[in-house]
Structure 1
Amino acid sequence: MKDDDIRLSWWERNQRIEALSLPNTLPDMLAEAAGRWPNQIAYNFFDRGETRTFAQLRVEVRRLADALQQLGIRHGDHVAVMLSNRIEYPITWLALAEIGAVMAPIVLSSTPREIHFFISDCEARFLVVEEPELRTRSMRPGEGPLPPAENVIFVGPVEEHRSSPRYDTLVAQGSADFAPLRAPTANDPVNIQYTSGTTGLPKGAMLSHRYWIIGAAATMEFFGIDHVSALSVSPFYYIDAQAFALKALYSGARVDFSPRPSINRFVDWLYQNQTSVTWLTEQVLELPPRPEERAAGVKLFLGYSQSVETIKRTLERFGAPTRELYGATEFGGGAAVPLVVEDPAILGTCGVPLPFRRLRIVREDGREAVPGEVGELWVSGDGLLQGYWKRPEANADFLADGWFRTGDLFVQDDRGYYSIVGRIKDMIRRSEENISALEVEQVIKDFPGVLDSAVVAVPDPEREEEVKAYILMAPNLEPPSFEEILSHCRERLAPFKVPRYLTFVDEFPYTPSEKVAKKQLTAGVDDLRAGAWDARDQIQR
């Protein structure tokens, strides 16, 4: 098939997909799934032995929704959820959606400082959590921004706080004949999904029912995926696992959720569950080949910024194609490479727009780029984020006339395919985690005697990028040990944000606006590790 024919056929297919009749809300989608595939397994948390069929899922969701509504959760309420990967997580999310409430997921490795920020920022009236997560952090209901005991719902075993509601008790008390006091609508928010940004602390992206339904339909229909098994290795507080959960409701697929990401167990999980679709864990290609790789039966790997060489190696090892799926929290999927494409030059791109998405590349001067010119990618379409929670300045910066400014630098070739060439945002991507350099800098600058700090990305073959911190001490002060700085960071940052490389400097180059000139700081340095303390390997590089 010629390139023009491929793009034309997928443009026509996108139009057909956009004309489909879709459910209005997540409760509608769950009801349809339970009616069409009642006895098929929807969710399988295989490490815990927890499964639910579509029919069982809907019954438990509605019983929990009824109990939560009786507890006082109302349409529009914000509920913070901090759980490990377990069946109660998606059930809680879907139950809140039935009420019209909004889930605000909290990263499980968050420090007390970060937890306080999330709960305070999103104004959560309720918290759903496993008790050990509070106990090990010496946090108690009702202290600081944490909701009172009667509004903290515990999942799993409880040693203290026995007066707080329990998940199991609520499900047992609730009725499957649930009726919301106010029914949710397509444009009601269902998530406040925190995403790191260059403004420092995370921003809460408000995602609607429509956002999730569009995302599920666009991906499943674009790739022609139906009635398959998908493996999710992402924690459920991240958007990838949530997206898989809803793709199951849309298509009748079974989703197998791993307890946590693991390179060494990835192939075992594929083989054990006979996975059809999953995100590619690229580091697995560095492990010795195993016969289980082809026996797993994978039909499609989804990838982000995969090289042509990686795509080739994956096909050789697993016998399955890898296709780019470019996206972001704010708009879900934006572009993808069609399955029918075989040209290596196209496989290395981000492909063509997904259904419901329009793309444009805008130059620095505000004019639209022509093919071959680099500019910022803007995305528009149905079901984008509704804005950032309580961040009017960010909304003004990132949302312009219905277009979301991604901060990613793109180029379109003369055949119409889009490719990412870099990022405007001062972000670091470490092991698939997005880290705000500014947030890490702010924590380091809180250390006594630190005058300024600059955090940059260091290319890394295993983790994509590592975190390096340059530290400027106040004059005439003896620098602290690197371990003191690291201990300070570990108390205030999730583990994946803590710098690996640290170095002290005598001065910083600054821009006219008094910001560290990071390009000048790192210009001409072939190896950013050189001369820095390596916290992982405990050596001076």
Structure 2
Amino acid sequence: METISALFAARVAEFETFPLLVVPADASRSYHPEGVCWSYGEVGQKVDALARALANAGYGHGHRIAVLLGNRPEMMVWKLALARLGISWVPVNPDYRPAEVAYLLQDSSAVLAVTTGDLLDLMQEGLTQSGREIPLVELSENTPEFPQSATSVPRQNAVSGETEASLIYTSGTTGRPKGCMLSHDYEVQMGTWYAGRGGLIRFEAGETRVYCPLPLFHVNAAILLFFAVMETGSAQIMPERFSASSWWREIVETEATAAHYLGIVIPALMNRAPDEFESKHKIEFAVGAGVEPTLHRPFEERFGFPLIEVWGMSEMCRLLGDYENPRSIDTRAIGRPQAGLEVRVVDDQDNEVPRGTAGEMVLRHSAATPRKGAFSGYLNLPEETEKAWRGGWFHTGDTVTMDENDMIYFVDRKKNIIRRSGENIAAAEIEACLQDHPNVERVAVIAVSDDMRDEEVMACVQSISRDDEVAAKELFDHCFERLAYFKAPGWLRFVPEVPVTGTQKVQKHAMFAEGENPTESAYDFRSLKKRG
């Protein structure tokens, strides 16, 4: 099946009474405090009503709608309803600042914005700053009556596998987030691929229930897992966000049999004293990325299930994974190439490097159809799309090695990308924000190691005048007010000079001497990086 609607209709017919979307009970949460368990049939009814209301208001094939609903299960109802009509789902990160929302609304050309009462101010301010006049609808318990679309339906042909299903914004190394256009065929394939991996990964209709605290504006939870669950008649459990204190309780109460994680989850759970719930879980496997090899084996021994390390990205529907025994859990192994996902490791000139040598991972479906199963491109950035696909291989920007047995080992993050608590943060975006401040002559933003969050953002600033703690706090506030909270620098250090080349390109590798601690003499603002 090439379209999301065709897949969903088939699964509703087959698994009508089976649970699909589950939300744990949480009395402190602003939505569904008692939790929900919606079956395939119940979700289908909600999708039917929403799709009819949107169609009656003139929205259809080729439109885009921006949706800001956090981790509410309604996010997925909206996704399915929009897919049926050929409308692209544009999820909005609730941690964005208004200026970031404004950019998304401008770049995507969304014709309608949807949100909830607790996020209404953010979306409204984003709309104001965008300068665009598009309708804003607040979600209610009942399907709302939508304002009539100001534009006619762009396409009159039937929804197909090539139709854009989602526009997912990802951090790019050049600054502003890039909109990844994902087709119906891409999203269906992503779920099918994941569900069919085998080995230690097992999905079974009516039995598998996957607990996933990851955000629904990312590919992992909203596409990879959601469509694997749908493909197999399984269920997805969606807490509001990750909480170490409620992880085991919610897993037990929702009868989860599998889980998704990020690197931050593992030390947080290992650092907690045993509680009454951790020995009662029924988890068979967990899938994620970023676990430290030193914690991998101890975690499995303590909690009794495998952590399956995988690699994936928004631009490619297929993932790599170390899911076959024997696994290499004392390393950063992420799996082997296979039919439908060819991998090479290359140098800066795109020459393949010897086995065991670090290089950039590039990939494709096959020589005959290199882009099959890949994203449709970066919105409004055709040159960037072609640059990423140079030579017929998609350039991931990730540094890996490959051994003689084809096992791939992760080495380093993308250039100029900081990985903090599962968020990919573009250093260039923070640099651009800081460079606007009148006290900044030059700036370099780098990643520094963080025991809890994997990496933290550090800004190295060559100031024009002041370089004291008050000046540092002003710079932190400058970023915190304009960017999502997690992007603001957790560390800020004034330096005499930010080194540059003759062409004024910043030399980040020359910032500090070998063995020097970058955070020494830096101001620590990590405790101020909070939501809200």
The two structures share one fold, judged by TM-score above 0.5: yes
Say which of 285, 305, 309 aligns to 1:320: 305
Q: In the alignment, does 2:18 pair up with 1:40?
A: yes
The alignment's C-alpha RMSD in Å is: 2.3
Contact 1:334 1:379 in 2 (8 A): no
**Which structure 2 segments of 5+ residues have no match?**
26-31, 147-154, 366-371
Deviations along 1:158-215, whole A, 9 cap, x unmatched?
A: xxxxxxxxx62349xxxxxxxx964311121111100001100100011111111111
Which residue matches 2:149? none
Task: Find the residue that maps to 1:394 and give its secondary structure.
Answer: helix
Q: AA paired with 1:236? A: L
Match for residue 95 of structure 2?
109
Change (3 A) 1:170 1:54: farther
Residue 275 of structure 1 aligns to a residue whose secondary structure is: coil
Relative to structure 1, the CA distance from residue 119 to residue 355 in structure 2 (aligned partners, 3 Å threshold; closer, same or farther) is farther
- The answer to which of 216-225 and 458-467 deviates more is 216-225
User: Is the contact between residue 294 and residue 319 of structure 1 (CA under 8 Å) also seen in structure 2?
Assistant: no
Name 1:306's counterpart in structure 2: 291
Residue 380 in 1 paired to residue 360 in 2?
no
Cα distance between partner residues in 1 of 2:527 and 2:397 = 33
Give 3-state SS (helix, strand or coil) of 1:293's partner.
coil
Q: Which whole-Å CA distance do the structure 1 matches of 2:236 and 2:185 have between them?
A: 21
Matched, 1:92 2:78: yes
TM-score normalised to the size of structure 2?
A: 0.88
Q: How many Å apart are 1:401 and its aligned residue?
A: 4.9
Show structure 1 runs of 5+ residues with no match: 1-22, 158-166, 172-179
2:497 alignment partner in structure 1: 507
**C-alpha distance after superposition, 1:96-119 (max 9, x if no partner):** 100111111111011111111000
Q: Supply the distance in 1 between the matched residues of 2:49 and 2:291 (Cα, whole angstroms).
A: 43
SS state of the match for residue 292, structure 1? coil
Aligned counterparts, 1:198-217, within 5 A: 198-217=173-192
Q: Is the 8 A contact 2:435 2:442 kept in 1?
A: yes
- Structure 1: how far apart are the matches of 2:329 and 2:107? 46
Cα 1:355/1:319, change in 2 over 3 Å: farther
Closer/same/farther in 2, CA of residues 248 and 147 from structure 1, 3 Å limit: farther
Shift of the 95–464 alpha-carbon distance from structure 1 to 2, 3 Å rule, reads same
Residue aligning to 2:385 = 395
Structure 1 window deviating more from structure 2 (466-475 vs 435-444): it is: 466-475
CA deviations on 1:77-107 (whole Å, 9 max, x unpaired) are 1111111221211011111100111111111
Match of 2:423 in 1: 433
| Partner residue in 1 for 2:396 | 406
The alpha-carbon distance between structure 1 residues 477 and 531, as it changes in their structure 2 partners (threshold 3 A), is: closer
* Distance across 2 between alignment mates of 1:490 and 1:343: 40
- Equivalents in 1 of 2:178, 2:524: separation in Å? 30
> How far off its partner does 1:355 sit?
5.8
Residue pair 2:103, 2:130 contacting (<8 A) in 1 also:
no
Q: Name the SS of the counterpart of 2:243 in structure 1.
A: coil
Tell me which of 234, 245, 253 is aligned to 1:272: 253
Moved more, 80-89 or 43-52: 43-52
Q: Which moved more, 1:398-407 or 1:229-238?
A: 398-407
The residue type equivalent to 1:407 in the other structure is: G
Q: Which amino acid aligns with 1:233?
A: P
Q: Secondary structure at the match of 1:443?
A: helix
- 1:523: how far off? 3.1
**Would you say the 8 A contact 1:64–1:170 is kept in 2?**
no
Q: Which residue of 1 aligns with 2:324?
A: 339
Q: How far is 1:120 from its partner?
A: 0.2
In 1, the alpha carbon distance for the partners of 2:12 and 2:424 equals: 35
Residue 126 of structure 1 is matched in structure 2 by 112
2:98–2:122 CA contact under 8 A, matched in 1 = no
User: Which residue of the partner structure matches residue 230 of structure 1?
Assistant: 210
Q: Is the 8 A contact 2:102 2:129 kept in 1?
A: no
CA contact under 8 A between 2:190 and 2:318: conserved in structure 1? yes
User: Residue 32 and residue 441 in structure 1: after superposition, are their counterparts in 2 closer, same or farther (change >3 A)?
Assistant: same
Deviation larger for 119-128 or 215-224: 215-224
Partner of 2:3: 25
Does the 8 A contact of 1:409 with 1:422 survive in 2? yes
Relative to structure 1, is the Cα distance of residues 505 and 335 closer, same or farther in structure 2, using a 3 angstrom cutoff? same
Aligned positions of 1:106-505 closer than 5 A? 106-135=92-121, 139=125, 144-148=130-134, 151-156=135-140, 168-170=143-145, 182-222=157-197, 223-227=201-205, 228-242=208-222, 243-280=224-261, 281-282=265-266, 283-342=268-327, 344=329, 348-353=332-337, 356-381=340-365, 382-474=372-464, 481-505=471-495
Shift of 1:344: 4.7
The 3-state SS of whatever aligns with 2:312 is: strand
Q: Secondary structure at the match of 2:274?
A: coil
- Structure 2 counterpart of 1:36, one-letter code: E
Deviation at 1:146, TM superposition (A): 4.2
Count of aligned pairs between the two proteins: 496
Contact kept in structure 1, 2:4 and 2:184, CA below 8 Å: yes
Q: What's the offset of the Cα at 1:289?
A: 2.6
Q: Post-superposition shift, 1:136? A: 5.8
| Paired position in structure 2 for 1:7 | none
Amino acid at match of 1:299: E
**% identical aligned pairs:** 26
Q: Which runs of 4+ in 1 moved over 4 A?
A: 140-143, 342-345, 475-480
Give the stretch that moved more between structures: 319-328 or 521-530: 521-530
Partner of 1:8: none
Contact 2:192 2:227 (8 Å CA) reproduced: no
Which letter maps to 2:105?
Answer: I
- Whether the 8 Å contact between 1:455 and 1:469 is mirrored in structure 2 is yes
In the TM superposition, residue 286 of structure 1 has moved relative to its aligned partner by 1.7
Query: Is the 1:304–1:324 contact (alpha carbons within 8 Å) kept by the matching residues of 2?
Result: yes
TM-score normalised by L of structure 1: 0.87
CA distance in 1, matches of 2:97, 2:104: 11
Three-state SS of the structure 1 residue aligned to 2:96 is coil
TM-superposition CA deviations, 1:4-50 (whole Å, max 9, x none): xxxxxxxxxxxxxxxxxxx2111011011101110011001223223
| Cα deviations by residue, 1:379-433 (Å, 9 ceiling, x for unpaired) | 2123111110011231122122542100011111011111111234111011111
| Conserved? CA contact 2:337–2:406, under 8 Å | no
